A and B are shown apart, each in its own frame.
Chain A
């Protein structure tokens, strides 16, 4: 039994890496929002679910390949995020930490149940023409969608990093994150930057949703699955750390698939909540975070 598991270990690790890159993208949005705005977006999972539905309907009604949908869903998600922060969360919360958590909780309830109301509770999947084609690695087959998603996720992480470190906008965002009063004094429109950052975080979800659709399913509760995953990655990598989110994504992806292999389908899920609890209790700053 164990020896069979061990021979399958490399395959499980590679599978975990593939999922890990997409998880990293989801977590990147969360950690970006946290790092700059210092708020926790509990509606993150629900918004990811919306992105999955967007990609699903573009495929179903418009015959648009999910990987092409990235160029539509991502900008739309950015605008959605910008507006919902600027005219929703930002106005309503009045800056209290627990208020924001509860408001985004309310938002996730509204989004999730609106999806249930309009799209019904059925699980939806897409079948792509190349969905079952795979690379033969000798010891395992790796489907095209997983590989495409992996590299696309890495590419978007790199683009986000470039945006943050090489452009004026990135410099303004980092200035606001470090010292919002100072940023205001040198003429940066802080509310605008907050909303842009929130929009960027949601744009990550837009891209992640498109990449997930070919290898996952979507229903109104899909978001719930990823909320804890994303939070775990973010606390593991350190709140606000981009590199941490990427590494955390890989660690969680591998934990999940290896855990599933060794402990079985049901008990294997325990790894994520266990890591979350242990990290919060013993090293709440995470691997790369400076402070909570």
Chain B
């Protein structure tokens, strides 16, 4: 029953978003929507480990950067087209996820310590990328413009729009699968009470490592998308703390541990950003607003904007609709 509602909602919204470029002629808005989908996608990758499994990372960007470098170096040095390179980017991201997950979770790091060690890993990779030669060092990597599916580049913004939309829809499907599967339930059990989960016979170490590997794989693909869209990569871009913050921000604002939280968060924050920029176009202002929103949400709406919806629904009558919107079984 419930999965049917999810799928109907997903199909309807997918149809609307597929059709959108036929009605929106402005390249600017297509670009904004592309960025929203990209942010929602990368937010969803954070959500799997942070929202479902409760392990907050402050260095999520490391998977993005590693994926971006993987496919870009394969292209520039070995001439391997990005459509194959993205597969390697995904593998590299998952592998990095395994290494980081294995090292930190096996040592029992959690909470703030886990958040900080991911930050340190991202910083370590940034310094490495800056120092070794095959990444182009501080000069960076320039990719050539060669539109075509083989290179995952497109002549028009609409092409990238569909690319981002595809990534975002895949991430929603992954989240839906988590909601339904035993694995997803195990992650939630770890988030709620790790000792109890362990006592119930869940291999918490394995589950957490799987979760960070999924996050890594998703981040890797995001890196290839970014590199092929902007055709330039350097260490501060590839391992920027701002992207690490953005992916947790959209998820927390939308609602952690929910299917549609990252998408809602990405929409709201990008709209806030555009409005802020419309009035005062000074660097820093929209980020000040983001910081305030983060604090307000953490303090007053721990379930994010979706939680706001859900609470109101609950007050009137607990219907299936709130579950439909939040995509949360225990709503």
Contact = CB atoms under 8 A, between A and B. Distances in A.
B120 A273 contact: yes
B295 A97 contact: no
B104 interface: yes
Contact of A103 (B119, B283, B295): B295
A182 interface: no
Interface residues of B, number: 42
A94 interface: yes
A98 B113 CA distance: 10
B116 interface: yes
Interface residue SS majority, chain B? helix
Interface residues of A, number: 43
Contact of A114 (B112, B128, B130, B284): B284
A276 B124 CA distance: 10
B107 interface: yes
B11 interface: no
A267 interface: yes
B331 interface: no
Contact of B283 (A107, A121, A231, A273): A121
Contacts of B138: 266
Contacts, number: 125
Contact of B131 (A110, A121, A270): A270
Given A106-B291, A281-B103, A228 B123 contact: yes
A276 B120 contact: yes
B299 A266 contact: no
Interface in B283-331: 283-285, 287-288, 290-292, 294-295, 298-299, 302
A228 B119 contact: yes
A143 interface: no
A50 to B, nearest CB: 14
B115 interface: yes
B104 A280 contact: yes
A274 interface: yes
B267 to A, nearest CB: 20
A98 B112 contact: yes
A170 interface: no
B298 A107 contact: no
Contacts of A92: 295, 298-299
Contacts of A276: 116-117, 120
Contact of A280 (B113, B241, B252, B294): B113
Given A103-B299, A277-B121, A280-B104, A117 B285 contact: yes
B127 interface: yes
Contact of B111 (A98, A108, A114, A277): A98
Given A99-B298, A109-B287, A109-B290, A267 B112 contact: no
Contacts of A292: 113
5 contacts: A98-B56, A99-B298, A102-B298, A106-B295, A117-B288
